[in-house]
Amino acid sequence: MKVLIVGSGGREHAIAASVAKSPKVDKIYCAPGNAGIGQLAECVPIGAMEFDKLAAFAKEAEIDFTIVGMDDPLVGGLVDVLEAQGMRVFGPRKNAAILEGSKAFSKDLMKKYNIPTAAYENFDNAEDAIQYLEEKASYPIVLKADGLALGKGVLICNTLEEAKEGVKEIMLDKHFGSAGNRMVIEEFMTGREVSVLSFVDGKHIRIMTSAQDHKRAKDGDQGLNTGGMGTFSPSPFYTEEVDAFCQKYIYQATVDAMAAEGRPFKGVIFFGLMLTPNGPRVLEYNARFGDPETQVVLPRMKNDIIEVMEACVDGNLDKIDLQFEDNAAVCVVLASDGYPVAYEKGFVIKGMERFEQEEGYYCFHAGTKLTEEGIVTNGGRVLGITAKGANLKEARANAYAATEWVSFDNKYMRHDIGKAIDEA
**Footprint of ligand GLY (CB under 6 A):** 151, 213, 228, 286, 290-291, 293
Instruction: Choose between 32 and 151: whose C-beta lies nearer to ligand GLY.
Output: 151
Q: How far is the CB of 399 from ligand AMP (least distance, A)?
A: 22
**230, interface contact from ligand GLY, ligand AMP, none, CB < 5-8 Å by kind:** none
CA distances from 4 to 9, 52, 61, 314, 406 (A): 15, 15, 9, 18, 29
Q: Could you tell me the smallest distance in angstroms from the CB atom of residue 110 to ligand AMP?
A: 12
Could you say which of ligand AMP, ligand GLY, none residue 310 binds, taking C-beta under 5 to 8 angstroms by partner kind?
none
User: Residue 83 or residue 187: which is nearer to ligand AMP going by CB?
Assistant: 187
Q: Are 82 and 54 in contact (CB under 8 A)?
A: yes
Cβ neighbours, 10 Å, residue 270: 24
Minimum CB separation of residue 211 from ligand GLY in Å reads: 9
Nearer to ligand AMP, 72 or 187 (CB): 187
Nearer to ligand GLY, 213 or 261 (CB): 213
83: left (phi over 0), alpha (psi -120 to 50) or beta: alpha
- Reading phi first (left if > 0) and then psi (alpha if -120 to 50, else beta), residue 150 is in left
Q: Which does 207 bind (CB under 5 to 8 A by kind): ligand GLY, ligand AMP, none?
A: none
Q: How far is it, in rounded angstroms, from Cα 340 to Cα 329?
A: 25
Give the Cα separation of 237 and 191 in Å (integer): 11
Smallest separation, CB 254 to ligand GLY (Å) = 17
Whole-number Å distance between alpha carbons of 174 and 168: 8
CB of 181 to ligand AMP, least distance (A): 17
Residue 100 C-beta: closest distance to ligand GLY, Å = 9
Nearer to ligand AMP, 142 or 183 (CB): 142
| 165, interface contact from ligand AMP, ligand GLY, none, CB < 5-8 Å by kind | none
- Rounded to the nearest whole angstrom, what is the least distance from the CB of residue 322 to ligand GLY in the complex? 20
Bridge partner list, 156:
142
State the helix-helix crossing angle for 103-112 and 252-260, rounded to 10 degrees.
100
Q: Taking CB within 5 to 8 Å according to partner kind, which of ligand AMP, ligand GLY, none is near residue 193?
A: ligand AMP
Position with the least CB separation from ligand GLY: 290
Residue (53 or 216) nearer to ligand GLY, CB: 216
- Angle at CA 281, nearest 5°, toward 279 and 284? 160
Q: Which does 201 bind (CB under 5 to 8 A by kind): ligand AMP, ligand GLY, none?
A: none
- Shortest Å, Cβ 141 to ligand AMP: 9
Q: Which does 293 bind (CB under 5 to 8 A by kind): ligand GLY, ligand AMP, none?
A: ligand GLY
In angstroms, rounded to a whole number, what is the distance separating the alpha carbons of residues 9 and 366? 4
Collapsed DSSP state (helix, strand, coil) of residue 157:
strand
Rg (CA), the chain: 21
Question: Which residue ranges make up the site for ligand AMP (CB under 6 A)?
Answer: 118, 142, 151, 154, 156, 186-189, 193, 215, 272, 283-284
Query: Nearest approach, Cβ of 154 to ligand AMP (angstroms)?
Result: 4
CB contact burial 285-324 (16+ within 10 A = b; e otherwise):
bbbbbbbbbbbbbbbbbebbbbebbbbbbeeebeebebeb
Closer residue to ligand GLY in complex, CB, 29/251: 251
3-state SS assignment for residue 71: helix
Sequence-distant (≥ 6) Cβ neighbours of residue 342 within 8 angstroms: none
Partner whose binding site includes residue 100, from ligand GLY, ligand AMP, none (CB under 5 to 8 Å by kind)? none
Residue 211 touches which of ligand GLY, ligand AMP, none (Cβ within 5-8 Å per kind): none
